[in-house]
Amino acid sequence: MMTLEKFEEASELVKKVTNPTKLVYSEYLSEETGGKIYLKPENMQHTGAYKIRGAYYKISTLTEEEKAKGLITASAGNHAQGVAYAAKLFGCKATIVMPTVTPLIKVNRTKNLGADVVLYGDVYDDACNRAYDLAEEHGYTFVHPFDDLEVATGQGSIAMEIVQELPTVDYIIVPVGGGGLVAGVSTLAKMLNPKIKVIGVEPSEAASMKAALKAGEPVTLPSANTIADGTAVKRVGSLTFEYAKKNVDQILTVDDDELIGAFLDMVENHKMVVENSGLLSVAALRQLDLKGKKAVCILSGGNMDVITMASIVQHGLIQRDRIFSVSVLLPDKPGELVRVAKTIADAQGNVIKLEHNQFVSTNRNAAVELRVTMEAFGTEHKHQILEALENNGFRPKLVTTKLY
């Protein structure tokens, strides 16, 4: 069982391997919600995520014989690095099975920490089944990423730190994948103060905890297709589910598009890189009435490869009308391109890409197509630019923005 005594033990033990992640007050999110919003930046841990807590505490409870056999786990990346780092500190061999779609940065960092990496399957569940097979074949000790009460106890140390730093916290908002983090945090939070509300947040396309609560037991989703790869879990843990069912007040879901906006907000307003799974807590804020309340969003991780980051930023800018494209038809004669460019410039738009197609019509004198991709300050400014083009005799047509 997860007991207060074990939580206290874990909270002291993990201090040896964790960076202090003091709460960060978010003026921007507080203004947006009407509450006082704080961030728990677990993305600033040495391994880039909270997972080191559970991995280190779990391995500390193993016997010397169990450690000597070598450790194995399955992970989309963050638990992998946690186990690899903790195993290195304890002098154990570690093998990590990761889905083939795991971001390269997570794979390389896991290898750099001394672990052997096996890439297998498309999602965590596939990798987990392979890890069990390897554990049986080689006699390795399995360290489950979430369905393990020692692991969940280690993750719960986050709640201890939150309550110690902000005793009057009203809400703790937690990303949910397999359920280890939310089980540990909610169980300890309720032990320390039953009035604290713990809200779990899942990706809409991988809402395995919500499905489990509805069914009354863990169920396996047909798929878990989301950009929040760290929480793309088709089935929550059976052990941790029982604690989550008892202690979690509500489960919310968030669409991938909302995570894109949250990433942009975090980079621009807090100068922090947080991976998509870690942003679930922030993206869900608008679904809660937090006026006059104190809420802590756990940012569970920050391991995101640069290519994914670039893609998210581009999509976020397009989503918020800060980059958009128009098509205008012009007679093929000198000076028309200049007129379009001047109209956009006078409206303070910034052209970043031009495509000139003379073959849109068989009669080039009648029309050639000009596609313009430009920057704007947002939706209102975008409409001002479109209006300026209309007023100058052009008939702009919005088209899909392609930045490549």
Q: Which residues are catalytic?
A: 51, 300
Tokens of 209: 């905890």
Residue 371 backbone phi and psi in degrees, to 5? -105, 125
Distance CA 225, CA 229 (A): 8
Give Dmax over CA atoms of the chain in angstroms: 84
**DSSP letters for 223-276:** ----S-GGG--SS--HHHHHHHHHH--EEEEE-HHHHHHHHHHHHHHH-----T
Query: At which residue do the structure tokens 């640069």 appear?
Result: 306
Extended strands (E) in 300-389: 323-330, 350-357, 368-375
Query: At which residue do the structure tokens 């059976």 appear?
Result: 238
Q: Is the separation of the CB atoms in 143 and 115 below 8 Å?
A: no
Q: Is the separation of the CB atoms in 265 and 39 below 8 Å?
A: no
- Helix, strand, coil content of the chain in percent (nearest 5): 45, 20, 35
Query: At which residue do the structure tokens 């975090």 appear?
Result: 266
Distance CA 296, CA 167 (A): 11
Query: At which residue do the structure tokens 């869900």 appear?
Result: 284
Among residues 282, 276, 397, 279, the alpha carbon closest in space to that of 330 is found at: 397
> Is residue 342 helix, strand or coil?
helix
